[in-house]
Amino acid sequence: MRSNYEKTKQVALSGLLFALAMALSFIEGSITFPGLLPGMKLGLANIVVMYALFFMGARQALVLDLLKALFVFLVSGATAGFLSLCGGLLSLLVMWGLYSLPHRPTWFILSVSGALAHNVGQLICAGFILGSALSLYYAPVMLVLGLVMGAVTAVTLRAILPALGRLGFNTENRQK
């Protein structure tokens, strides 16, 4: 009986996280931020993927990443969906790899590394789509934005954890 309750709780939490990621992605795509070049987003939906990775496991984070890319595909088109998928998968792979190390880096390092990897994944994908290396001209700006937003993502997740704990969500790191 307890097992069914835990599974139901896990499914409900996954649905809530997916809805939150979609809402953050939609809001982010609807608002124009001064100073950002076309196609650049803040990456706030990645807070949800990081929570899933740290507190639910890599499989759940992967599912959310894939669903997030599907949502972007449906809302913004094939190119945006492909960019989201490439960036999200590389970001998740890097964060998971670092998180699995015996001496786990800080959340700040994990988040910044994930954000940088996300942007690198998108640049590689854009180069593939364009059929040239022109996308690399965007690299300096994308990497600086990755540093800044990786820091913001880490701080935001850390700040909301106490509230999530009070609501009954898991805020204990998963064992490797």
Which DSSP helix (H) or strand (E) runs through 129?
helix 107-130
Q: Which two tokens stand for residue 30?
A: 């609807």
Contact 55, 35 (CB under 8 A): no
Q: Where are the domains of the chain?
A: 2-160
Is the CATH number 1.10.1760.20 carried by domain 2-160? yes
Q: Which two tokens stand for residue 67?
A: 């669903």
Please give the model's pTM, rounded to 2 decimal places. 0.87
| pLDDT digit string, tens, across residues 86-145 | 999 999 999 999 999 999 899 899 999 999 999 999 999 999 998 888 888 888 988 998
Q: How far apart are CA 150 and CA 91, in angstroms?
A: 11
| pLDDT digit string, tens, across residues 66-86 | 999 998 899 889 998 999 999
Q: What one-letter code names the amino acid at 127?
A: G
Q: How far apart are CA 23 and CA 151, in angstroms?
A: 21
